[in-house]
């Protein structure tokens, strides 16, 4: 690289057009400072995840924590929301890709969650260019002219920007600090914060984040320490950062209050990240005698998903925090009116349930879904920015309800197996090609939904699931169905690599923690 690199930092990725602006010596020094301060604690917390998983595999049942009872019984609230994060009735999400970011910011949604996580394939180019796109979005200079000559610029009024860095389990292998790859969370957070925090404040906004895949309040506490360190380093007041935590692991559902408490003045709310949550339920109990039915049957209205979302709303409102709903995966179509109508109907029903339950806002995956989500939430909220006054004190959720994964009428079918195989293949191939969110069979698929598909296949094969027609799902039957599904996908780029990855994920005896960990070794 042409510019100086701080002592102890190595850049292994190639120089890109955005490198000099994004990977400046000062920005890299900031990220290296975070890594040196927090890298060891992060590793310790990941080890703790492994220990907890082993205890559950040995039969321990998660419970609300005894030693944090004082938090649950204490009288405290999170800090009031900043003005541009008080009305979150519709939030659009999408990867940090230039055209989509402009479309999302212009979509009419109140918030845009710019995603470096589930929706982004973290190629070196995607993460570095993504930071440049974010920098331009903050300064409102983001624009694009397509090869066909179509111009994209920002409207006068745009959504509030919230950024989702990658989860604690991931590394950014193109940047090393003192001989180790840097934490992807610290890399994504650090670069965004360094380049934009001051600018955002001057513009009347702030550095706002979504925090993914936390498993417990100690991981939230680590984020809180990162925020304090980052704010102190740049001379910004503590409490400038605002973070909304995705409750998208089954263990985090037992520590929702503790997570808000750990983030103290930085806590903004919780989000019901349904897809990773389902994945986590399958994963954490993968070695026990629980068999989940076809993916399409694990809906938001099954008892354990109701218990989790009801508890989330009650917890948030008790503490003055926003409760944000999740992503209905139905994708509208501008080409097929029937698909479009089906998607709008399904999304409307999902948003009606959420707004009726007390959520203050929700996620949508596509600009054409913003109007329906807004309409549904407008009906419930009217002029009010949120419905935090609905305390939902009647909600009582026992640990057993969060852990009772039985689904009345649930079945594993050949169609369900084929669907999981095909989605696993198509999504992994797209991810390897640099796209982290894709529409497959008219549904949004991203890293979280794809995890469900491959973890179900593992579970069905390894726990002896029997299809509704009486056949067990053996490795041989899986191989046969996979060969047929692969043949249907013809010349899809990176298909063979995706098929090899899927085979190893579903056939190996041990359950792989995240599909993106082995897949990342194949990425540019
Ligand atoms: C489990 C979770 O974590 S959920 C959150 C993470 N997942 C996501 O954020 C997924 C977000 N959604 C998407 O990525 C996309 O909607 C997809 C990939 C599912 C479908 O995208 P496409 O196939 O491009 O959809 P389609 O062709 O209908 O797009 C029409 C237009 O809408 C735009 N668009 C579609 N989705 C989005 C979005 N989320 N944000 C902004 N613009 C979007 C397209 O760029 C296109 O714009 P153009 O007309 O200017 O060319
Ligand atoms: O990140 C959201 C989810 O559903 O997973
Ligand atoms: Mg997720």
The answer, yes or no, to whether any atom of ligand 2 lies below 6 A from the CB of 274, is yes
In this structure, are residues 11 and 32 in contact, taking their beta carbons and an 8 Å threshold? no
- State yes or no: is 446 an active-site residue: yes
Specify whether 283 is located in the same domain as 362.
yes
For residue 385, is pLDDT > 90? yes
Q: Is residue 70 part of a domain?
A: yes
Catalytic residue among 164, 319, 353, 392: 164
Task: Quote the DSSP letter at residue 450.
Answer: H
How does DSSP assign 380-428, residue by residue? HHTTSS--TT---TT----HHHHH----TT----HHHHHHHHHHHHHHH
Q: Which atom of ligand 2 is nearest to the CA of 326?
A: 4
pLDDT at position 174, please?
98
Q: Is residue 493 part of a domain?
A: yes
Q: Distance from the CA of 340 to the center of ligand 1, in angstroms?
A: 14
Q: Is residue 125 part of a domain?
A: yes
How does DSSP assign 110-147, residue by residue? SEEEEESSTT----HHHHHHHHHHHHHHHTT---EE-T
Question: What's the number of domains the chain is made of?
Answer: 2
Q: Which atom of ligand 2 is nearest to the CA of 164?
A: 1
Q: Which of 381, 321, 308 is nearest to 351 (CA)?
A: 381
Ligand 1: residue of 95, 99, 103 to mutate (most ligand atoms within 8 A of CB) is: 103
Helix locations, 58-80, DSSP H: 69-73
How far is it, in rounded angstroms, from Cα 458 to Cα 370? 36
Q: Is residue 470 part of a domain?
A: yes
Specify whether 69 is located in the same domain as 94.
yes
CA 389 to chain CA mean position, Å: 27
Query: What CATH number has the domain bearing residue 451?
Result: 1.20.1220.12
Specify whether 316 is located in the same domain as 449.
no
Q: Which atom of ligand 1 is nearest to the CA of 445?
A: 19
For residue 22, is pLDDT > 80? yes
Q: Is 180 helix (H, G, I), strand (E, B) or coil?
A: strand
The answer, yes or no, to whether any atom of ligand 2 lies below 6 A from the CB of 270, is no
Q: Distance from the CA of 275 to the center of ligand 3, in angstroms?
A: 6
Specify whether 322 is located in the same domain as 221.
yes
Specify whether 385 is located in the same domain as 485.
no
Q: Is residue 406 part of a domain?
A: no
Instruction: State the number of CA atoms in the 13 A half-sphere of 438 facing the CB.
Output: 19
Q: Is residue 5 part of a domain?
A: no
Ligand nearest the Cα atom of residue 214: 3
Q: Which atom of ligand 2 is nearest to the CA of 363?
A: 2
Q: Distance from the CA of 202 to the center of ligand 3, in angstroms?
A: 31
Among 370, 399, 428, the domain-final residue is 399
What's the rounded mean pLDDT across residues 321-334?
97
Q: Is residue 237 part of a domain?
A: yes
Specify whether 337 is located in the same domain as 246.
yes
Q: For the segment 69-106, what is each residue's pLDDT rounded down to a tens digit?
A: 999 999 999 999 999 999 999 999 999 999 999 999 99
Specify whether 290 is located in the same domain as 345.
yes
Among 399, 422, 447, the domain-final residue is 399
Q: Distance from the CA of 365 to the center of ligand 1, in angstroms?
A: 6
Specify whether 393 is located in the same domain as 445.
no
Q: Is residue 386 part of a domain?
A: yes
Q: Name, in order, each residue with C-beta under 8 angstroms of 499's C-beta and a sequence gap of 6 or more.
A: 425, 482, 486
- State yes or no: is 295 an active-site residue: no
Catalytic residue among 89, 353, 446, 454: 446
Specify whether 338 is located in the same domain as 467.
no
CA angle 237–240–242, rounded 5-degree value = 155
Domain that holds residue 366: 10-399
How far is it, in rounded angstroms, from Cα 225 to Cα 51? 23
pLDDT at position 2, please?
47
For residue 268, is pLDDT > 90? yes
Ligand nearest the Cα atom of residue 439: 1
Q: Name, in order, each residue with C-beta under 8 angstroms of 322's C-beta and a sequence gap of 6 or more.
A: 81, 85, 88, 244, 268, 269, 270, 316, 360, 361, 386, 388
Q: Distance from the CA of 212 to the center of ligand 2, in angstroms?
A: 8
R_g (Cα) of the chain, nearest Å: 22
The answer, yes or no, to whether any atom of ligand 2 lies below 6 A from the CB of 246, is yes
Confidence of residue 288 (pLDDT cuts 50, 70, 90): confident
Specify whether 374 is located in the same domain as 428.
no
Specify whether 337 is located in the same domain as 394.
yes
Query: What CATH number has the domain bearing residue 233?
Result: 3.20.20.360
For residue 1, is pLDDT > 70? no
Percent pLDDT > 90 in the chain is 97
Specify whether 395 is located in the same domain as 499.
no
For residue 128, is pLDDT > 50? yes
What's the rounded mean pLDDT across residues 32-52?
98
Confidence of residue 3 (pLDDT cuts 50, 70, 90): low
Ligand nearest the Cα atom of residue 277: 2
Among 399, 420, 436, the domain-final residue is 399
Q: C-alpha dihedral over 182, 187, 191, 197, to 10 degrees? A: -120
């Amino acid at each position: 690289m042409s510019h100086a690199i701080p002592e102890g930092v190595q850049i292994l990725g190639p120089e890109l057009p955005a490198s000099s602006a994004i990977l400046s010596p000062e920005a890299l020094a900031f990220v290296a400072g975070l890594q040196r301060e927090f890298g060891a604690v992060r590793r310790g917390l990941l080890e703790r995840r492994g220990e907890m998983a082993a205890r559950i595999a040995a039969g321990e049942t998660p419970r609300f924590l005894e030693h944090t009872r004082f938090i649950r019984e204490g009288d405290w609230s999170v800090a009031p929301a900043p003005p541009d994060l008080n009305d979150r009735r519709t939030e659009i999400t999408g990867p940090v890709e230039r055209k989509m970011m402009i479309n999302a910011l212009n979509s009419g949604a109140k918030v845009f969650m710019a995603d470096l996580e589930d929706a982004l394939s973290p190629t070196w180019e995607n993460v570095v260019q993504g930071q440049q796109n974010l920098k331009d979005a903050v300064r409102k200079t983001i624009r694009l002219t397509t090869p066909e000559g179509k111009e994209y610029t920002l409207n006068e009024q745009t959504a509030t920007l919230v950024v989702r860095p990658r989860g604690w389990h991931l590394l950014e292998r193109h940047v090393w600090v003192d001989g180790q790859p840097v934490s992807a969370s610290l890399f994504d957070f650090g670069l965004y914060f360094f380049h934009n925090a001051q600018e955002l404040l001057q513009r009347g906004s702030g550095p706002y984040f979504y925090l993914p895949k936390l498993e417990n309040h100690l991981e939230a506490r680590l984020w809180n320490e990162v925020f304090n360190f980052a704010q102190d380093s740049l001379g910004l007041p503590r409490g400038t950062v605002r973070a909304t935590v995705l409750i998208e692991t089954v263990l985090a559902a037992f520590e929702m209050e503790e997570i808000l408490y750990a983030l103290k003045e930085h806590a903004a709310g919780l989000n019901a990240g349904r897809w990773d949550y389902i994945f986590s339920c399958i994963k954490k109990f993968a070695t026990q005698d629980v068999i989940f039915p076809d993916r399409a049957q694990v809906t938001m209205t099954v008892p354990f998903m109701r218990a989790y979302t009801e508890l989330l709303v009650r917890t948030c409102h008790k503490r003055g925090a926003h409760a944000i709903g999740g992503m209905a995966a139905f994708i509208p179509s501008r080409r097929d009116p029937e698909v479009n109508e089906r998607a709008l109907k399904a999304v409307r029903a999902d948003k009606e349930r959420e707004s009726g339950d007390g959520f203050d806002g929700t996620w949508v995956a596509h600009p054409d879904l913003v109007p329906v989500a807004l309409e549904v939430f407008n009906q419930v909220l009217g002029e009010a920015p949120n419905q935090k006054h609905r305390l939902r004190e009647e909600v009582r959720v026992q640990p057993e309800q969060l852990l009772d994964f039985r689904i009345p009428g649930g079945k594993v079918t050949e169609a369900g197996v084929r669907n999981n195989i095909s989605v696993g293949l198509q999504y992994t191939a797209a991810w390897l090609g640099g796209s982290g969110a894709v529409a497959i069979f008219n549904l949004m698929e991203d890293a979280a939904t794809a995890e469900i598909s491959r973890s179900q296949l593992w579970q069905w094969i390894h726990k002896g699931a029997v299809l509704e027609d009486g056949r067990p799902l053996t490795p041989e039957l899986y191989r046969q169905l996979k060969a047929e599904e692969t043949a249907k996908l013809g010349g899809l780029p990176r298909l063979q690599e995706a098929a090899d990855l899927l085979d190893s994920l579903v056939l190996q005896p041990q359950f792989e923690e995240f599909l993106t960990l082995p897949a990342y070794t194949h990425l540019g």
